[in-house]
Structure 1
C-alpha cells in the first residue's frame, strides 16, 4: 500500500487554483478540468464530479468541518507570514502561534474552508534556536526531540 495524493473537493476550481498558486506558491502539474494535481501532490476535484463518484448529493458534503488539515512546511516562515499580509482573501483559523516545542505555525482556510497549516521547517527551528545561542542539548530538550535529530538538522 502506498499513499499517492490527498484530494480536496472544491466548489470553484479556478478560485481554488488561484488560491493555491497565489497564497502557497503551488503550481498546476496536471489539469484534467475536473481534477487538478498541484506541485507537492495535492489534488483538487470539482464538487460535482466528487458527488458523482460518491453517489451523494452536494448537500451531503460538509465543507469547513474543522476535522482535518493539509500540512505544509516552509523554510522562510517569516517571509511567508509577510507574504500572507499581501493576500487579500486569506482567512485565518487563528493567528500564527509558536507550539511548546518551538515550531511556529499558521493555520488558514482555503476558499472551501479546508484547513491549511503551514509550519516552520523543523531544521529551521533548530537553526533558529542555535542562532539564539542554545546548545544542541538545549535545543533537543526545548524541542522534545532526540539529540541525534538536532545534530542532523544542524549539519
Structure 2
C-alpha cells in the first residue's frame, strides 16, 4: 500500500510517500507496570526493553511504551496524562471471541470500559483500559449468514 501526502511548499506541490505504519508509541507513567499489563494481561510478546522504552512486535507493526518523563525530556516540555472521559486514542485488537476475550482480560486485571456490544457495521466490540487509562478495543468480525 502506498499513501501519498501532499504538502504545498508555496512553489508547487511536494509529495511524500508512506509505505506502511511502522510503530505506535503509548506514553505511560510507570514502565514496569505497563510492561506487566501488556505481557501478562494482554499476552503480547516483549521484543526488547531499554531504559524508559519497551517494544512489542505485532506482525509488521510495533507497539512501543515510553515513559511520560522520558517523552517530556525528548520534547523539552511537560506532557499531560490522558483523561478518562477524553482518552485521545484507542488501540484496537482483532479477536475471535470478543465476549471471552473481555471476560478473560477483566479477570486478569484489565479495567472494563464498555461491555461486548454488537455494532451496526458488522462487528462485536468491547473496551478495556490499561493501567494508564488508555482504551483498548477488542473487535470481532461477525459473519453474515
Pair 1:63 & 2:82 matched:
yes
Structure 2: unaligned runs, 5 residues or longer = 1-17
Counterpart of 1:34 (choices 36, 49, 52) is 52
Q: If each structure's strand is expressed as a fraction of its own residues, which one has the higher value?
A: 2
CA RMSD of aligned residues (A): 1.7
Q: If each structure's helix is expressed as a fraction of its own residues, which one has the higher value?
A: 1
| Corresponding residue pairs, total | 122
Q: TM-score normalized by structure 1?
A: 0.71
Q: TM-score normalized by structure 2?
A: 0.75
Residues 34-83 of structure 1, C-alpha deviations (whole Å, 9 max, x = no match): 111113111000121110111112xx323233221111111233431331
SS at match of 1:19: helix
Q: Which residue of 2 aligns with 1:113?
A: 133
Poorly superposed stretches of 4+, deviation over 4 Å: none
Structure 1: unaligned runs, 5 residues or longer = 135-155
Pair 1:14 & 2:35 matched:
no
For 1:1-155, list aligned pairs within 5 A: 1=18, 2-40=20-58, 41-57=62-78, 60-64=79-83, 65-87=86-108, 89-120=109-140, 122=141, 125-126=142-143, 129=144, 134=145
Report the Cα offset of residue 116 of structure 1: 0.8
